[in-house]
Amino acid sequence: MAKLAPSVRLLRSLSRAARTQRSTFAKLLDACAPAPRKPPRKPATRQAAAPAAGKAVAPPPNPAPGAWLAGQYPPQWTPGQAVAPAMPYWLYLPKHVPDDVARHGWPLVVMLHGCQQSASQLAAGTRMNGLAEDKGYAVLYPQQPAGLHPQGCWHWYDRAAQQGDGETAMLAGLIGNVCARYRIDRRRIYACGLSAGAGMAAVLALNHPELIAAVGLHSGPMFGAGHSPVGALQVLRHGAPLRADAAIADLLRRRAMPPLPGLLIQGADDRVVHPANQEQLARQWLQLNGLPAGPATRVTARPAGRGGSRNAHEIHDYAAGRRVILRVVRIAGLGHAWSGGDPALKFNAQAGPDASRMMLEFFGRHRR
């Protein structure tokens, strides 16, 4: 059998490598999808471009009585700017204005959606607007522009984003724009997200501690690893234990960090973001806040049926003095879904505990 010419062998090798890369990337996207099931009765919300900034639009399912506004950032393109997709966003402003809001402005929760999910779907699934109405929070829902990722994923694993560029800078600019347009209490801005959105919320907070007073990360990947679609898939499946400490050490060499409280919520049965990620995130958040990596200050076990939750869960609190800096919640029986959400929308599980309520209660104890 005649030997193949070197050029032919090279072409075949490159072709095999390309097929392998495409297959791996497809697995990364498939990993973000839930198991097949019957379509929900409620229609899915399309990822359409948002109208002009500040315009009232039809609210998502499970509407709350306040204002549901839509916009995009930057509001308009000007000559000299780099051409990039504008970031759509939705903003919920409660109808009832408490006295402290009248004095200081709205506390703001920035909610970041996961892959294959829109901003308005996140709002509807988590039912966050209804709770925000009761507790007096404004809620901002940025949406990943369709032109930046076909599945709507945030690039939490991108090295440039992890160092403050790209989508991180875009989100920080959006928050600043909203603060300039509306009466927001800049001491009480919180970053929250699900899955890839949780990863991006961590990246945003770690690069802009002057903006973010605390974070809430639901089913999120550990920080500071990945750096490619293939690497991101490995993080989702296994975490990155050898990178966990080094990533925070690298961050602390670049900048001084004030205390950054965090709430980490994870399903024990998550098959998309392995629970090892929560363990590594907890280690990172203790290191970030100068707390020892030993046992929690307080552990609370809540069996199924307690407080309306059908899932047993444990709460591990790590405190500095009397202040809980890190709260780690592991929920038995929960897969890759928002705990206590609307099951008619994917990536939501009806059985509690209510993650949205836990987020707002945690945020209410912290301010910059």
CATH code at position 238: 3.40.50.1820
Three-state DSSP class for 364?
coil
Residue 33 domain-assigned (yes or no): no
Q: Give the contacts of 323 (CB within 8 A, at least 6 positions apart).
A: 261, 365
How distant is the alpha carbon of residue 239 from its chain centre? 16
Residue 4 domain-assigned (yes or no): no
Q: Quick: pLDDT tens for 105-127.
A: 999 999 999 999 999 999 999 99
For 127, list phi and psi in degrees, rounded to 5: 55, 30
Residue 307 pLDDT? 58
Contact 138, 117 (CB under 8 A): no
Closest CA relative to residue 219, chosen from 193, 244, 238, 239: 193
Q: Quick: pLDDT tens for 39-66.
A: 344 433 333 344 455 677 677 777 799 9
Contact 131, 360 (CB under 8 A): yes
Distance (Å, rounded) from C-alpha 176 to C-alpha 170? 10
Q: Is the pLDDT of residue 229 over 50?
A: yes
Residue 25 domain-assigned (yes or no): no
Residue 18 domain-assigned (yes or no): no
Residue 352 pLDDT? 85
Contact 218, 338 (CB under 8 A): yes
Q: Give the contacts of 168 (CB within 8 A, at least 6 positions apart).
A: 161, 162, 200, 203, 204, 207, 208
Mean pLDDT (whole number) for 220-233 = 94
Q: What percent of the chain has pLDDT over 70?
A: 81
Peptide bond into 107 cis (omega under 30): no
**Containing structural domain, residue 265:** 53-363
For 21, list phi and psi in degrees, rounded to 5: -65, -45
Which ranges of 108-228 would DSSP assign to H, the alpha helix?
Answer: 119-126, 128-135, 159-162, 167-181, 196-207
Distance (Å, rounded) from C-alpha 173 to C-alpha 166? 11
- The structure tokens 């609210």 sit at 59
Distance (Å, rounded) from C-alpha 87 to C-alpha 188? 23
Residue 112 pLDDT? 98
Contact 198, 112 (CB under 8 A): yes
Q: How many separate domains does the chain show?
A: 1
**What residue type is assigned to position 249 of the chain?**
A
For 232, list phi and psi in degrees, rounded to 5: -65, -40
pLDDT band at 34 (very low <50, low <70, confident <90, very high): very low
Residue 77 pLDDT? 58
Closest CA relative to residue 151, chosen from 253, 25, 63, 248: 25
Q: Quick: pLDDT tens for 230-267.
A: 999 999 999 999 999 999 999 999 888 999 999 999 99
Around Cβ 260, how many Cβ atoms within 10 Å? Answer: 21
Around Cβ 55, how many Cβ atoms within 10 Å? Answer: 10
Q: Is the pLDDT of residue 3 over 60?
A: no
Q: What percent of the chain has pLDDT over 90?
A: 73
Q: Show the 3-state SS of 53-122.
A: CCEECCCCCCCCCCEEEEEEECCCCCCCCCCCCCEEEEEEECCCCCHHHHHHCEEEEEEECCCCCCHHHH
Residue 202 domain-assigned (yes or no): yes
Q: Give the contacts of 113 (CB within 8 A, at least 6 positions apart).
A: 119, 121, 122, 141, 143, 144, 152, 193, 194, 197
Residue 29 domain-assigned (yes or no): no
pLDDT band at 310 (very low <50, low <70, confident <90, very high): confident
- Mean pLDDT across the chain, nearest whole number? 86
Q: Is the pLDDT of residue 138 over 70?
A: yes
Residue 13 domain-assigned (yes or no): no
Written as six digits, the tokens of 118 are 């829109």
Q: Quick: pLDDT tens for 193-219.
A: 999 999 999 999 999 999 999 999 999
Q: Quick: pLDDT tens for 58-87.
A: 777 777 999 999 999 986 655 555 556 799
Count of alpha carbons within 13 angstroms of residue 334, beta-carbon side: 35
Residue 67 pLDDT? 95
Mean pLDDT (whole number) for 288-312 = 86
Contact 185, 140 (CB under 8 A): no
Q: Is the pLDDT of residue 31 over 60?
A: no
Residue 228 pLDDT? 93
| Alpha carbon separation from 318 to 19, 245, 251, 290, 299 (Å, rounded) | 46, 18, 22, 11, 9
Closest CA relative to residue 284, chosen from 318, 310, 254: 318
Q: Is the pLDDT of residue 367 over 50?
A: yes
Residue 280 domain-assigned (yes or no): yes
